Amino acid sequence: MNTFSFDSSRWKLVCNVIVVGISLYGIATQKFTLKENTLFEKVFTEMVAPIQEGTMSVKDSIAQTFDRYIFIVNTRQENERLKNNLDKLQNEIFSLKEVKKENERLKKLLDFGKDIERRKVLAQIVARDSSSEFKVLRINKGESHGLKLLSPVITQTGLVGYVYRLSPNYADILTILDQNNRVDAIVSRTRTHGILEGRSGFTCQFKYVSRTEKLELKDEIITAGLGEIYPKGIKIGTITKIDKESFGITQKIEVTPSVDFDKLEEVVVLLDPEGSTEKPDEIMSLSVEEPNE
């Protein structure tokens, strides 16, 4: 029985080897014959191939055009994004430069007022009375910030004027350019005393100066400290014209303020450390009105 099983197994193995051998022999001896195209097939191929070639060329062109269009659109979007970022950065740089300039101006204002023993309030100009050549300025500080009527107003280049109208958060400044603002002043070099009054054209006149006083062009005019409004020694301007008339006992003197009112942005309001003094009734009765902006 065992002998029969052994013989069957051997027979199956032999048969499998024979079948594999025949298969390999058939593959090895197989011949591939080349088929020659018929005349019709040749003509058909010659007619169809150019069309296929053109179709492939058009397909490639469309694909390239589409790719280029997508690339251009993406590039344009990227350029717009970069341009927006650049604009934002430029605006930030501009803002930082403006803040730096403002800080420099404020620092000069604070340094200028160190020698003046008064409390100081820093304020910005928010409006100008354009109908009167900036003779009235409005600032963004008022009674709630400690300002009082007749408080003097200065800047790092000199005298601006004084507070003559007040509201809780704003104040109007009557500048030295106004004819109603009279300042007791002296010539720094000769100590000649006179009264400074405003006039048209962003200039002032130095009045009541004797013809015998030997004044010169570019002489500096400063506050005399009289009148209990302005501290003594604040620069007002310089003499730019002297006219000694052939008659009369005084000189006609023109003074150009040291403050450039056309470019003025910040000011310092000086407050009395002991509190405000009693103000004239006519000034106290003035109501706050909107200047022409």
pLDDT at 201 over 60: yes
Asked if 195 and 207 count as a contact pair (C-beta separation under 8 A), the reply is yes
The secondary structure of residue 210, as a DSSP letter, is B
- Give buried/exposed letters for 172-183 (b at 16+ CB in 10 A, else e): bbbbbbbeebeb
Reported pTM: 0.59
DSSP structure class, residue 290? P
Res. 20: pLDDT tops 90:
no
pLDDT tens column, 117-164: 788 888 999 998 866 666 899 999 999 999 999 999 999 889 999 999
Is residue 141 a contact partner of residue 269, using CB atoms and an 8 Å limit?
Answer: yes
* CA 293 – CA 288 distance, rounded (Å): 15
- pLDDT at residue 133, as a whole number: 66
Q: Tokens at residue 277, please?
A: 């003094």
User: For residue 259, what pLDDT is reported?
Assistant: 93
Tokens describing residue 61: 């062109």
CA 19-25-31 angle, 5° bins: 135
**DSSP single-letter state for residue 260:** -
